[in-house]
Chain A
Amino acid sequence: MDAEAEIRLTWIGRGDIDPDLLGRVRCQVERIFDRPTNLRVAHGPPEEALDRKRGQYSSTKILRWIVTTLASGSNKVLGITDVDLFIPVLTYVFGEAQVRGAAAVVSLARLRVTYNQRPAPPPLMEARLLKECLHELGHTFGLVHCSDSACLMSRSNSVLDVDLKGAQFCRDCRQRLWGLMDEEREQS
């Protein structure tokens, strides 16, 4: 494996985050992608991504910011934030990623609450965060949404969808992922 290629989980929230929670997510990410994974903290998210009218941050602008300020070489950078994300035509998104690219972003904002807007129990929130991190990183390696609703790569349009899907890639996506990672390794 290319010594340079690693996964960087980067906290770009406005508030604080439990470092143990991120530590556990890091371990799972490293285990599942079999790639060195480390934790970082960066000053973010960028103010230019904030839409004051909507009170939300543009995930696309955050991705651009990650690419220009945090990404380097063949590393993957996943920004984790606590602000609510949107793309202009949609009311919200849980995250966004560059398909076969270097950057991805995940928001905790809607993962931290239950369906009736009460704080979600920490284990539930942790499971949701891990699923979304693996999902967005899957995109950066080239995976697209999967029609198997139990697969990690199925699209989640609501927190209910996130809860209903499994914490693993289906067999097809797993095989595709290994193939894509091999390809990426050959090209780098």
Chain B
Amino acid sequence: MKFRGSILVVDDEEIVRDSLASWLQEDGYRADTAADGPTALAKLTQQPYNILLVDLKMPGMDGLQVLAQAKTLPPDAPVIIMTAYATVDTAVQAMKQGAYDYLVKPFEPEELSLMVGKLTNTQALRRENILLRKALKHQYEFKDMVSKSPKMEAVFQLARTAAKSSSTVLILGESGTGKDLLARAIHAESPRRDGPFVGVSCVALTETLLESELFGYEKGAFTGAAGGARGKFELAAGGTLFLDEIGDISLKLQLDLLRVLDAREFRRVGGTQVIKVDARIIAATNRELKKLVESGTFREDLYYRLNVIPVTLLPLRDRKEDIPLLAEHFLAQFSTEMQKPLEALSTEALEILMAHGWPGNVRELRNVLERGAVLARGPIITPLELELAQSDVVPSPPGPAEPADSLKDVERKHIISILKQHHWNITRSAKALGIDRVTLYNKMKRYQIREVE
């Protein structure tokens, strides 16, 4: 069933409310009713509606009063006033107060169909436009980060404050906790928001490639460099440079980076001209940088240079109270994207999500819900549609033959088994594991997993 939107019918006559709601339901709308203005306004504060159909003459609070109050409440749904007493005065007054239109009772079925259809189509286009623009520009803001955990709220507050400055921010957190999203949100809230946001994953490239990727190169700098190219530092001029997976760069590059961050200037590979750095640096890693410093694989001076404002994102298992909120957020998103009437998770489905350990964090939750949204046959997602139920939640008893596997061994074996299941397709395997491709490459490198296995 295609979900076309939700409509609140406000009328003091029960038969009008019921018949109109029934008529709208036949059109695929979710129709709700309210017998008077105060009830309607109470409903509006509980959930958003796409359209309000409000009778003009009602005892107590009349239609125009409901209209005035409704206009002050988000998301400012369009109001259609219904009236049996059509006078120019009331119509003008309604339109002046911001009503979308008015209908004189009784009206032709076609009139109502067209008006409601036109409104919902316009709203759907507007929503799609916002989503597309957001996807196109990757303009994510703090309001896209969902949490009611006090610890996360403190993290967001710190990030918001940090955004106002030009200081370097170091984002720490496990894979899938939203480091990239937070970096984009900091950029979007910073004075550099109109400049570019340039991200680079330091783990996806070899040392030489990363060097030319970051600093650019001049013509003839190396074999194949037929023309010069600007690097990420230059491309991010006036904006933000996001160095993801910073814990995975080589010692040589760490030194280069340190020099650039100290001097705020650099040269392209093979070049002599000094170029000033005009980018705000945000770095992120899922590795424990302090331990890497202790083991000598990460430079202490670079660590302190980056660790100006450290922000740590909590793993999902430590903020389980956010699961219902995040689920609601993602379902609303999928409902719009897929044009499906996804309203909620069943109690059993939510219990399963709450019981899960979420090694892949929010990204894993998003993937599980996306799968559920695709498979859902109705507005409620049940455990049947969450594949998690069979594969991840029920812990299998440890087999007597393999009692001494370390956590790392188990992870290595699990990754190999998923890769085999997906015929070594990295994208699909990463999705099944609830991690991104880069993290999977990382883990494969760390555990020395190659396709021959």
Contact = CB atoms under 8 A, between A and B. Distances in A.
B27 A155 contact: yes
Contacts of B19: 58-60, 87-89, 96
A158 B111 CA distance: 12
A144 to B, nearest CB: 4
Nearest to B18: A60
A86 B23 CA distance: 11
A97 interface: yes
A91 B106 CA distance: 5
A60 B22 contact: yes
Contacts of B28: 144-145
Contacts of B23: 87, 90, 93, 96
Contact of A157 (B13, B15, B26, B109): B109
B106 A158 contact: no
B1 interface: yes
Given A88-B15, A144-B2, 8 more contacts: A88-B16, A89-B19, A89-B20, A89-B105, A97-B26, A144-B27, A145-B26, A155-B113
Contacts of A179: 377
A27 B19 CA distance: 30
Contacts of A155: 26-27, 109, 113
A62 to B, nearest CB: 11
B367 interface: no
Contacts of B25: 99, 144
Contacts of B20: 87-89
Given A60-B15, A89-B82, A144-B1, A99 B26 contact: yes
A98 interface: yes
A136 to B, nearest CB: 9
A90 B108 contact: yes
Interface residues of B, number: 25
Nearest to A61: B15
B31 to A, nearest CB: 10
A183 B378 CA distance: 11
Contact of A88 (B1, B106, B110, B377): B106
B107 interface: yes
Contacts of A144: 1-2, 25-28
A92 interface: yes
A174 interface: no
A76 interface: no
B313 interface: no
A143 B1 CA distance: 7
A139 interface: yes
Nearest to A101: B22
Interface string A67-101: 00000000000000000001111111100111100
A36 interface: no
Given A93-B23, A99-B26, A144-B1, A88 B13 contact: yes
A157 B1 contact: no
Interface string B89-132: 00000000000000101111110110000000000000000000
Interface of A: 58-61, 63, 86-93, 96-99, 139, 142-145, 147, 155, 157-158, 176, 179, 183
Given A58-B15, A59-B19, A98-B22, A90 B106 contact: yes
Nearest to A60: B19
B26 A89 contact: no
A92 B106 CA distance: 9
A70 B112 CA distance: 31
Interface in B1-58: 1-2, 13, 15-16, 18-20, 22-23, 25-28
Given A90-B23, A93-B23, A96-B22, A157 B16 contact: no
Nearest to A147: B2
Contacts of A143: 1
A54 to B, nearest CB: 8
A43 to B, nearest CB: 22
Give 4 closest A-B pairs by Cβ, nearest first.
A87-B19, A144-B28, A157-B110, A60-B19
Given A60-B19, A99-B22, A155-B27, A89 B110 contact: no
A92 B110 CA distance: 11
A88 B27 contact: no
A139 B26 contact: yes
Contact of A91 (B22, B107, B113, B377): B107
B450 to A, nearest CB: 45
Contacts of A98: 22
A89 B113 contact: no
Contact of B109 (A61, A92, A97, A142): A92
Interface string B363-406: 00000000000000100000000000000000000000000000
